[in-house]
Amino acid sequence: MSDNSTLIRTSQVLGITASGILAGGILNFSTVLVPTLLLPATTSRRTFDSSFQPGTPVSHITSQWHHAYSLGKSFVPLASLITASAYSYLSYHFRQGTLTRQGNVVAANYYLFAALLTVLPVPFTLLIMKPTNSKLITKAESAEREGIVAHKEGDVQSELKASREEAEVQSWLKTWASLNTVRGLFPFAATICAAIATIS
């Protein structure tokens, strides 16, 4: 019994900590990374869609986003799987009554719901965010292959094209940040569910 109790307490700490970190990590991309990438230049001029021109070329912005996205892609699925496994384990043991003679169905259901919420960012990314991700990745890969191509000073057509690209990339990044916020709320809700299950 004591061995099971220790394992369950460890799983509770691991699950709640991991899903909290996962939520914070995902939400950080929307609240810190994207606004920083879109900071306007100190002497900013208006662009095609009347927004401010970013402080760095869009080709560099998309490359930076792509690098950050790749980092997230390397750890979010694994972290989700580990956290969901901990919550699934807890759900099973609370339903079976490992700690008490009678199972705690309410806690078991909360842990099960937390496990489902923890893995939801993966299908959400693949199904909902894919179009926006693909546009940004394509733009970043194109920029990384070709490098930054400067347009001639005073070439109105080139400036207009660059302005349109800036507006386009800004729009994609803002859409991505909004969707990513929704994605980050899944593990955040999982953390709350697990906390309720733990104190119930």
Write the pLDDT tens digit of every residue in 85-109.
999 999 998 988 765 555 688 999 9
- What's the CA gap between 31 and 178, in Å, rounded? 10
**Per the structure block, which two tokens stand in for 80?**
């989700």
Is the pLDDT at 48 greater than 50, yes or no?
no
Cα(94)–Cα(73) distance, integer angstroms: 32
CA-based R_g, the chain, Å: 22
Predicted pLDDT at 149: 46
Residue 46 reports pLDDT greater than 60 = no
pLDDT of 53: 66
| pTM given for the model | 0.83
Residue 27 pLDDT greater than 90, yes or no = yes
Residue 55 pLDDT = 72
